[in-house]
Amino acid sequence: MTSPLEIITLTFSKDNPYNTTITDASGQVLYVVHTQSGKNASTTRVFEGTSDTVAAQLTWSDTGLTLAKVTVRGGREVLMSAWMSKSRIPFNDSAAFKDENGRQYKWKGLAAGRALELYTKDDGYKQPIAGFHKSVTDRRQSPPTVTPATLRLAPRADEIRELMVCSFLFLAIEKLSKEKGFGNLQNRMTGGQLGMITTGSAM
């Protein structure tokens, strides 16, 4: 079990996987996420820090992500379904992928109402090594205070930070699009605080 002192926290400027800025505990910008909507397709790019370097991008149709394509670090464009394989039995609730060393991981919580958590085959997918927590507004305060959304990582997840962040964002886009519907894309992208995940993780 990872101790609280070992947890690494990444903070989101918005509960919005289409457009957000991700910072570390010191406030340093790690990634900037920007989505551009075109006539027939949209492209979500994950930039490294405040640079123009694209860590990964997702190109997808406004009508669904079935044929969405992923490009990592300017490499070959591949179908998202090949980059991350979805579970079929008993439920479509997880997505598996590998890192560059062939180590296996699995995001669980794709079903509506569940939180996305990352597991590794190292321990048989028993304990999460990363988990998302949506923002929380405390209306008991005047004015209300907001605790921003975070991704909380164990050191094992931080070994694949970029891959973990990009895979999370692209799955969050798919999850949100399914839950909210693919229509009114522009409203979703500019609507400010959106609940990407409806419940917090145990991480």
Write the CATH number for 156.
Answer: 2.40.160
Summarised one tens digit per residue, pLDDT across range 168-189 is 999 999 888 777 665 555 545 5
The pLDDT of residue 62 is above 90: no
- What confidence score (pLDDT) does residue 113 get? 81
The pLDDT of residue 139 is above 50: yes
Whether residue 180 lies inside any domain: the answer is yes
Whether residue 25 lies inside any domain: the answer is yes
Q: Which helix (H) or strand (E) holds 35?
A: strand 29-37
Whether residue 32 lies inside any domain: the answer is yes
Structural domains of the chain, count: 1
Whether residue 14 lies inside any domain: the answer is yes
Whether residue 1 lies inside any domain: the answer is no
pTM here is 0.86
More confident residue, 43 or 67: 43
Amino acid symbol at 75: G
User: How far, in Å, CA of 55 to CA of 110, rounded?
Assistant: 23
Residue pair 57/71 in contact by the 8 Å Cβ criterion = yes
Whether residue 191 lies inside any domain: the answer is no
Q: Which residues form the domain of 151? A: 7-185
Whether residue 192 lies inside any domain: the answer is no
The pLDDT of residue 18 is above 80: yes
The pLDDT of residue 27 is above 80: yes
The pLDDT of residue 119 is above 90: yes
